[in-house]
Amino acid sequence: MTDNRIDLVDHKTEAVVPVPAETLDIVERADRIVEEAQRHSLRHIPLDSRWSQFEQDRVNGWLVSLHLFTPEHDYGQQVRVDDLRDPKAAKEFVWDVVSRFGSTLNDKAGVMIRQLRADLRNMQQPAGE
């Protein structure tokens, strides 16, 4: 079971961010892409997602961050909401975040495996060497 949320709370102020309905609709459409990825390609990973940190920028319009996480690892990336309007662009953004999350997870797993191998080598050495 995964937990997907669109979080409208500014956690610095604890206030609800007044996101326009059109902006929220765009993010909800992009969230359905995340849910589809979780059901199909990522079904074996207990991966949660959160769209959060909504902010309105005078130059870039509305910004939002997509965070993917497991209990041990997380990755987030910010995007202009306008860049999610086109379904193809939204899908590319979501898959880019998924890919970067996977690389991060792979890197962390690699570090853990190297440490485990080193620990096993140390355990195999006779005491005093």
pLDDT tens digits for 65-93?
999 988 888 889 999 999 999 999 999 99
pTM: 0.78
Token reading at 128? 């005093």
Count of domains in the chain? 1
Q: Kindly state whether residue 35 falls inside one of the protein's structural domains.
A: yes
Q: Kindly state whether residue 52 falls inside one of the protein's structural domains.
A: yes
Res 121 pLDDT > 80: no
DSSP state of 7: -
Q: Give residue 43's domain range.
A: 4-124
Token reading at 77? 């990336």
Which residue did the predictor score with more confidence, 99 or 18?
18
Q: Kindly state whether residue 129 falls inside one of the protein's structural domains.
A: no
Radius of gyration of the chain (CA): 19
CA distance 27 to 82: 10
Q: Kindly state whether residue 86 falls inside one of the protein's structural domains.
A: yes
Q: Kindly state whether residue 66 falls inside one of the protein's structural domains.
A: yes
The answer to whether residues 4 and 50 touch, using CB atoms and an 8 Å cutoff, is: yes
The answer to whether residues 97 and 75 touch, using CB atoms and an 8 Å cutoff, is: yes
3-state helix, strand, coil in the chain (%, to 5): 45, 25, 25
